[in-house]
Amino acid sequence: MFSENVEIVLTKINNALAMRKETKKTGETVTLVAVTKNHPADVISASMALGIVNIGENRVQEAKLKKTVVQNGPRWHLLGHLQTNKVKQAVEIFDIIESVDSEKILAAIDKAAEQQGKVQDVLLQLNIAEEAQKSGFDKESYEAVIPELKNFKNVRIRGIMVIAQKCEDVEETRPVFKKGYEKFCELQQYLGDAHVDILSMGMTHDYWIAVEEGANSVRIGTALFGERDYGR
């Protein structure tokens, strides 16, 4: 069943890639990040057996426990909101932190990475849909942080992460993803940096729309593993 789910997702990604028109700056391939939140660690091994090596977790503590079970191989992505008191552990555990949503968190990551002798890959999370319940830079705070980015020497800005609003008509997410692509291109141009290469947009309910609009990384959980067990 899992392998069938993977095949369905990859087919939809490839079909979406074929639909792209003006969004070529993010390349012609898409990274599939398997979101294993609230699933047992053995789904990570199953994912890796099918060549899915990018694993997304929403919580630092859950990833820390799973990493003791699956020690070698995955590339770990932090997707959930990061609290300041968890930054040190997050830098120790994750290869990339996709959910940098404030200058304060960016500065804390930079400091922790310096202490650990590491350059931490990060994405800037933008709250383009302007949903009050979601984390992410709003328009004003994002514009304010842009001139400061080059001051952080122990973080590597790899790109942008966007979460669209949930809606009955998935087409309503398209303007959000279009704006995400625009912001990615602007960031790439501003930093003039080959490391700005990731546009992470799209989840189970909307990932094909995101890919059509330029995403080159999608975060998929339910479509791969089924419903989460929130009792875990």
- Is the distance from CB of 210 to CB of 17 less than 8 angstroms? no
Average pLDDT over residues 216-220: 98
pLDDT of 231 > 60? The answer is no
In this prediction, residues 138-160 reach a mean pLDDT of 96
Overall number of domains in the chain: 1
Q: Is residue 230 part of a domain?
A: no
- Boundaries of domain holding 199: 2-222
Give per-residue pLDDT as tens, 32-51: 999 999 999 999 999 999 99
pLDDT digits over 174-210, tens only?
Answer: 999 999 999 999 999 999 877 999 999 999 999 999 9
Burial of 63 (0-12, 13-18, 19+ CB in 10 A): buried
Report residue 160's pLDDT band, with 50, 70 and 90 as the boundaries: very high
In a domain, 112, yes or no: yes
Distance (Å, rounded) from C-alpha 1 to C-alpha 5? 6
**Measured distance CA(110)–CA(150) in Å, rounded:** 11
Specify whether the backbone of 112 is left (phi greater than 0), alpha (psi in -120 to 50) or beta: alpha
In a domain, 119, yes or no: yes
CATH code: domain of residue 103:
3.20.20.10
Asked if residue 113 has pLDDT above 80, the reply is yes
pTM of the entire predicted model: 0.95
Residue 229 within any structural domain of the chain: no
* CA 62, 63, 67, 69 torsion-angle sign: positive
Give me the helices (H) in the chain, please: 2-19, 42-49, 60-69, 87-93, 103-115, 139-145, 174-191, 207-212, 222-225
Within a domain: 153: yes
Does residue 16 lie in a domain region?
Answer: yes
Confidence check: pLDDT of 15 > 90: yes
Q: Is residue 147 predicted with pLDDT exceeding 60?
A: yes
pLDDT band at residue 229 under the 50/70/90 scheme: low
| DSSP-derived 3-state class of residue 146 | helix
* Residue bearing the bigger pLDDT, 23 or 13: 13
Residue 231 lies in a domain: no
On whether residue 227 sits in a domain, the answer given is: no
If DSSP codes are grouped into helix, strand and coil, which group holds residue 42?
helix
25, 41, 79, 173, 174 from 168: Cα distances, Å: 30, 32, 24, 10, 13
